[in-house]
Structure 1
Amino acid sequence: MLILLVLGCLAAAGLATWWLHRPLPLAAPAVELSIEAGSTPRDIAQAWVAAGVDTSPWLLYQWFRLSGQARQMRAGGYELTAGASPRDLLRMMVRGDERLAAVRLIEGWTFRRFREELAQAEGLQPQTAAMSDEAIMQALGLPDVPPEGRFFPDTYAYAKGSADLAVMRRALHAMQRQLDAAWAQRRPDTPLKSPEDALVLASIVEKETGQEADRPLIAGVFVNRLRIGMPLQTDPTVIYGLGPAFDGNLRKVDLQTDTPWNTYTRRGLPPTPIAMPGKAALMAAVQPAPTKALYFVARGDGSSAFSATLTEHNRAVNQYQRRKSP
């Protein structure tokens, strides 16, 4: 009897060892599962089987329990691929090796374009789909703050199954860090009165820049205009103020139609940013290039020509925009 008992125990141990190292049968090449915080080991075992792991949920649960690591399993989004064993499955959840995707936010995008990109991102839960811009900002802890320009353009990796609001929160905090860092390095003679001013100016610089090297000079032009009370007269702010009504063709009547963002009809900075500025634009806003230029015009190759006087500017416009000889 004792010998039979020992042999039975050895056989059971052998079967357990075989099962723990054997690849788990999957219903698909990869099985994905999002584990919510507070899920019990039994819930997790059953969820994996329901997701497509073809094994006994009781066996999985017993493995989690007897391993001594059941309480170390982390919430998150996971992907189990072919060839993974029960040991691999537990190790993945204990380490928190989540399946990741990424979304890239581009400098110069508006908040509306930002929301569109998040809505199309792989594996990102559209928690904000039915929310207004105002509701989103309230959920992020900034009620009554306009969302435009508040999110830092970068590439954000996330676990599949994450909420889009979580990515927004990370981008929001990233912009605040970048803005605080830039403001701390501002020139002492800047006419900008607050970090908010710097964010607005940086967004304009971002939209006006064709080449990175021009950013500090373009910022210098706008700073010079602010110092003397000259209207900024920048087309991107007018376009932003037109909103969805803009059809891609900026007309003279648009420049004459007053909106809070029309920097031809109003002096000073517009009331909000007009896009998401990147780090280079933020730094250009607080550390503009020393220049006497008050004007610039696109050369047609992505760069700009800068002028200190209206006469010089008109000459540059004739040369680069109207294609007349200087």
Structure 2
Amino acid sequence: MYIKKILVIIAVLGVVAIGIFSYFIYNTIFSPNTQFTTEQASVYVSSEDTYQEVLEQLKPLVKDLSDFDQVARRKGYNVHLKAGRFILKKGMNNNEIINTLRSKNEPVSVIFNNQERLENLAGRVAQQIEPDSLSLLTMMQDPVFLKENDFSPETALSMYIPNQYELYWNTSAEAFRARMLKEYHRFWNTSRLEQAKKINLSPKEVSVVASIVQKETAKVDERKRVAGVYMNRHKNGWKLDADPTVIYAIKKANNDFDTVIKRVLYKDLEIESPYNTYRNKELPPGPIAMPDISSIDAVLQNEDHDYFYFVANPENPGYHKFAKTLRQHNNNRQAYVRWINKMGINR
């Protein structure tokens, strides 16, 4: 009888112990373990991160890092890290957090526009995905890639169509470049290629003219008219005489793309550069900036008119006065010069 009682007591204690252990395990694995107040938080795990670096990033996001560590080690996450962007939701338990970090890489929106050079583009993209700007720029300037895909160092910028793209945060620099090439060919579909052929320009030449249009006017509703002026000049064998190309030539010659030049002087028109359209009838060898889609389409669908000249309109800031004759243009230009002198803009 006595032995039976002892056995019962041992059994009860065993059940209690199992219950306590089970509760501990359940609590460790399945109890909520987040401490951020927002509905969700993003965790970025790079390809080079160690498990300890991931723990450091999680420290402000989880209540009990030790509990998380125990579960992570049991599930083998500490030796099987996954790179990417992962979204933790408020109230997640350790099991859910680990499952998310192992298998739910979320894409990011990569946005870029108005980049003057590949260097600027690489810097902008590096702010949004894992690769640094140097690795991105190296891929963008790779001479073998450029030659294989019919680009040159001068035209390389035209391959990157400004838009919003969904990519995984841990996309490599090479994979980013491949995606952009794919998007370039998708953009230049049959319709746009036919439009380019109709105006007797290649897609790269369209991008060059579009970059000038982009620099001439920020007003989207005016771009087709400005494009029409440049196409009238180009079709008639005139030089484009585009001030933005002179500004670009000056910046390129000085290797200084940060200086703001608001006024082009007569002496500037003499600068020796293939980008100076006051000296060369040919189009510049590449875009002087990244044209956005509205500028590209403005060239492809340029307005059919008889204007050959235009100048900034002081009476309607941001817009321009257009002229069919040089005499009319000179009158418009004199009004602009008087205004710019009054404003004290010397450079």
For Structure 1 versus Structure 2, the TM-score category normalised by the shorter chain is 0.7 to 0.9
SS at match of 1:198: helix
Does the CA-based 8 Å contact 1:99-1:160 persist in structure 2? yes
For residues 233 and 202 of structure 1, the distance between their equivalents in structure 2, rounded to whole angstroms, comes to 15
For residues 191 and 289 of structure 2, the distance between their equivalents in structure 1, rounded to whole angstroms, comes to 17
For residues 310 and 11 of structure 1, the distance between their equivalents in structure 2, rounded to whole angstroms, comes to 94
Deviation at 1:238, TM superposition (A): 1.4
One-letter code of the match for 1:309?
A: T
Give the aligned partner of residue 114 of structure 2.
107
Does the CA-based 8 Å contact 1:179-1:199 persist in structure 2? no
Structure number with greater Rg is 2
> Which of 65, 71, 88 is 1:59 aligned to?
71
One-letter code of the match for 2:124?
A: E
Matched, 1:288 2:295: no
> Which of 265, 279, 282 is 2:293 aligned to?
279
- 1:304–1:140 Cα change, 3 Å: farther
Does the CA-based 8 Å contact 1:127-1:163 persist in structure 2? no
SS at match of 1:184: helix
Give the aligned partner of residue 264 of structure 1.
278
Give the aligned partner of residue 334 of structure 2.
318
Deviation at 1:288, TM superposition (A): 0.6
Deviation at 1:217, TM superposition (A): 0.8
Give the aligned partner of residue 305 of structure 1.
321
SS at match of 1:267: coil
Give the aligned partner of residue 34 of structure 1.
45
Cα deviation, 1:195-252, whole Å, max 9, x if unaligned, reads: 1111111111111113111111111111111111000000111111222536525321
SS at match of 2:332: helix
One-letter code of the match for 1:213?
A: D
For residues 4 and 204 of structure 1, the distance between their equivalents in structure 2, rounded to whole angstroms, comes to 84
For residues 263 and 25 of structure 1, the distance between their equivalents in structure 2, rounded to whole angstroms, comes to 61
One-letter code of the match for 1:314?
A: N
SS at match of 1:196: helix
- 1:179–1:78 Cα change, 3 Å: same
Q: Which runs of 5+ in 1 are unaligned?
A: none
One-letter code of the match for 2:161?
A: F
One-letter code of the match for 1:318?
A: Q
Give the aligned partner of residue 7 of structure 2.
none
- 1:176–1:277 Cα change, 3 Å: farther
Identity %, equivalent residues: 24
For residues 321 and 191 of structure 2, the distance between their equivalents in structure 1, rounded to whole angstroms, comes to 27
Larger deviation: 146-155 or 225-234? 146-155
Give the aligned partner of residue 200 of structure 1.
208
SS at match of 1:191: coil
Matched, 1:231 2:242: no
Deviation at 1:266, TM superposition (A): 0.5
- Relative to the length of structure 2, the TM-score reads 0.72
For residues 318 and 50 of structure 1, the distance between their equivalents in structure 2, rounded to whole angstroms, comes to 65
Larger deviation: 247-256 or 263-272? 247-256
For residues 134 and 99 of structure 1, the distance between their equivalents in structure 2, rounded to whole angstroms, comes to 24
Larger deviation: 282-291 or 170-179? 170-179
Q: CA RMSD in A?
A: 3.9
Does the CA-based 8 Å contact 1:149-1:274 persist in structure 2? no
One-letter code of the match for 2:265?
A: R
Structure whose residues are more often helix by fraction: 2
SS at match of 2:321: strand
Deviation at 1:305, TM superposition (A): 1.4
Q: Which runs of 5+ in 2 are unaligned?
A: 1-9, 60-64, 341-347
For residues 230 and 214 of structure 2, the distance between their equivalents in structure 1, rounded to whole angstroms, comes to 12
Deviation at 1:31, TM superposition (A): 8.4
Matched, 1:87 2:69: no
Give the aligned partner of residue 23 of structure 1.
32
